Amino acid sequence: MSTTIRNTEPQTLWNHFADLNAVPRPSKKEERVIQFMVDFGESLGLPTVVDEVGNVIIKKPATPGMEDRQTIVMQSHLDMVHQKNADTDFDFDKQGIEMFIEGDWIKARGTTLGADNGIGVASIMTILSSTDIPHPPVEALFTIDEETGMTGAMGLKGGLLDATIMLNLDTEDDDELTIGCAGGVDVTGTGVYGQVDTPENMQGFTLSVKGLTGGHSGMDIHKGRGNANKLMNRILYQAANTFGLRIAAIDGGSLRNAIPRESFATVAVPNEKVDGFKKFIAEQTTILTSEHATTDGDMQILCNEVDAPTHLAAADFQTKLLRAVYACPNGIYRMSPDIEDLVQTSNNVARILVKDGTYSLQCLTRSSVDSEKMDMANSIKSAFELLGADVSFSGDYPGWTPKPGADIVKVMNDLYSEMFDGKANVNACHAGLECGILGTNYPAMEMISFGPNIRGAHSPDEKVQISSVQKYWKFLLETLKRIPLKA
């Protein structure tokens, strides 16, 4: 990593970010980063505890003159989404993120950057390690597993925190103050299927849909970006009906909270249909790249001849599978009738794996209305059950109900106008923030979420804007000075 990043202002924040990014921290494998945070807190001589699920809490007294202010929680999550480009050789379990500066942005080489939520974590570390930053009593809460189930937030018990205000540092636009978010539920369909020997008169092919933009399945779902799983299914469905294509395997997408960028399939086509099939793929490439030219300008559809696979999925299963995936909704289901431009309910067809007689279909359904979230989940469940899948719901978490009249909202909204000569965008978002979950055990706590400009989160295109971090940092420091007095 270039030392230039460590010399960027604010230097302490960027140095903490660089130290954090040297620690592998995939969701559900946070042991190393938990120990990193414990060592950090103890090195400062601050009370540091790890709760029963792995969340780290570090408490710091108020600076002189700030003892009469309300205690605040500063909260961010320790884990990060691990995504890389197909041609990037990188082991997330062993390597630290390789960062570089390009203009006003910090990026990673072929992988996710971890600015989500590493900038928030580094910000809190900077407050904890400071000797000259005025602040009220601080309870730093570092949660685990936000990206793949929010189990850290779900496992945090009441009574561990004394604060009356929470500053969640996990949004991606520096002019936004977020005061509400969507809830979510994972929908998974699994099962087994029969296989048959591949007839001798068939030619094997590998199909690839790749190069899509991808992105965050909550924050970016309204942008109309292509979903590689749905596009692959569209191709396979038509080719099966027209050319007798048979499926041997499908491997598409990765994480539930990432819009799928790639999908790969191994198939076979009767020899007498090969020429027509190749022409069809060329036609589909033209059609689909044209449809997605604005949102996914680097999309590729590749078709390569290979040896025919030895086994194929049974024809009846293939027919039901392609129809089930086609029927499964993807993208926006409903916009909010109450908050302008807010996606209320959506679904991301995140992962499809069909291989060696077993299959898994994975979705993440989001909504700021819990009843509508479950209605959509049941719709998806019904489609998958028609395939014969065993369908389960997991990781269900609530939304966060906006409280626009909260004191901290007024303080920060007024402060933003004062500092930046413009109005903040006070809103709710379609992403899943931890505030709604944390609020179940701390219902009286006022909460607000903010952060710097981060683009391409959950994809290898992730980047964070240096000038925006500087703006956000000044805003955070001034906010700490203006935390209301204790009641």
Note whether 101 and 196 are same-domain residues.
no
- pLDDT on residue 148: 86
Residue 147 domain flag: yes
Token pair recorded at residue 246: 């048979």
Average pLDDT over residues 261-285: 98
CA distance 135 to 128: 10
Token pair recorded at residue 343: 């996606």
Where does the pLDDT of residue 3 fall: very low under 50, low under 70, confident under 90, or very high at 90 and above?
A: confident
How far are the Cα atoms of 6, 18, 72 from residue 12, in angstroms, in the given order? 8, 10, 22
Residue range 339-392, pLDDT digits in tens? 889 999 999 999 999 999 999 999 999 999 999 999 999 999 999 999 999 999
Residue range 80-118, pLDDT digits in tens? 999 899 899 999 999 999 999 999 999 999 999 999 999
Per-residue DSSP letter, 136: -
Note whether 335 and 425 are same-domain residues.
no
pLDDT at 437 over 60: yes
For the chain, what percentages of helix, strand and coil (3-state, to nearest 5) are there?
30, 30, 40
Vertex 411, ends 405 and 416: CA angle to 5°?
115
Residue range 152-168, pLDDT digits in tens? 999 999 999 999 999 99
308 φ, ψ (degrees, to nearest 5): -65, 140
Residue 293 domain flag: yes
Final residue before a domain boundary, out of 368, 397, 426: 397
CA distance 183 to 181: 7
How far are the Cα atoms of 344, 370, 375, 402 from residue 339, in angstroms, in the given order? 9, 16, 21, 11
Note whether 117 and 176 are same-domain residues.
yes
Note whether 347 and 423 are same-domain residues.
no
Residue 295 domain flag: yes
Residue 487 domain flag: no
Where does the pLDDT of residue 2 fall: very low under 50, low under 70, confident under 90, or very high at 90 and above?
A: low
Note whether 312 and 437 are same-domain residues.
no
CA distance 296 to 289: 8
Note whether 450 and 348 are same-domain residues.
no
Instruction: Reduce the DSSP state of residue 428 to 3 states and report it.
Output: strand
The identity of residue 44, as a single letter, is: L
Paired sense of beta strands 390-397 and 263-270, if any:
unpaired
Closest CA to 456 of 115, 77, 26, 169: 115
Domain count, the chain: 2
Closest CA to 27 of 150, 123, 124, 129: 150
**pTM for this prediction:** 0.74
The identity of residue 324, as a single letter, is: A
Least confidently predicted of 13-17, 133-137, 309-313, 437-441? 437-441
Question: Percent of the chain scored above 70 by pLDDT?
Answer: 100
Closest CA to 65 of 132, 131, 130, 135: 135
Residue 214 domain flag: yes
Residue 132 domain flag: yes
- pLDDT on residue 403: 87
pLDDT at 1 over 80: no
Catalytic residues: 79, 146
Note whether 161 and 202 are same-domain residues.
no
CATH number at residue 86: 3.40.630.10
Instruction: Reduce the DSSP state of residue 156 to 3 states and report it.
Output: coil
Note whether 202 and 295 are same-domain residues.
yes
CA distance 319 to 470: 54
Cβ contact 263:232 at 8 Å:
yes
Residue-number span of the structural domain to which 228 is assigned: 185-397
Paired sense of beta strands 300-306 and 202-210, if any:
antiparallel
Residue range 165-196, pLDDT digits in tens? 999 999 999 999 999 999 999 999 999 999 99
Cβ contact 188:148 at 8 Å:
no
CATH number at residue 364: 3.30.70.360
Per-residue DSSP letter, 338: S
Note whether 432 and 470 are same-domain residues.
yes
How remote is the C-alpha of 122 from its chain's centroid? 19
Where does the pLDDT of residue 211 fall: very low under 50, low under 70, confident under 90, or very high at 90 and above?
A: very high
Cα diameter, the chain: 84
Note whether 299 and 244 are same-domain residues.
yes
The identity of residue 360, as a single letter, is: S
CA distance 259 to 263: 11
Average pLDDT over residues 68-82: 97
Final residue before a domain boundary, out of 397, 428, 455: 397
Cβ contact 248:312 at 8 Å:
yes
The 3-class secondary structure across 473-485, one letter per residue, is HHHHHHHHHCCCE
DSSP H helical ranges for 169-314 = 228-243, 274-291
Note whether 343 and 365 are same-domain residues.
yes
Cβ contact 387:191 at 8 Å:
yes
Note whether 207 and 306 are same-domain residues.
yes
Where does the pLDDT of residue 50 fall: very low under 50, low under 70, confident under 90, or very high at 90 and above?
A: very high
pLDDT at 8 over 60: yes
Closest CA to 76 of 13, 134, 130, 136: 13
The CA-to-CA distance between both ends of the chain, in Å, stands at 47
The answer for residues whose C-beta is within 8 angstroms of residue 262's C-beta and 6 or more apart is 86, 208, 209, 210, 211, 212, 228, 252, 253
CA distance 381 to 484: 47
Cβ contact 168:181 at 8 Å:
no
- pLDDT on residue 347: 98
DSSP per residue, 79-122:
-B---B-TT----TTT----EEEETTEEEESSB---HHHHHHHH
Average pLDDT over residues 208-212: 97
Closest CA to 412 of 470, 438, 219, 420: 420
Average pLDDT over residues 308-332: 98
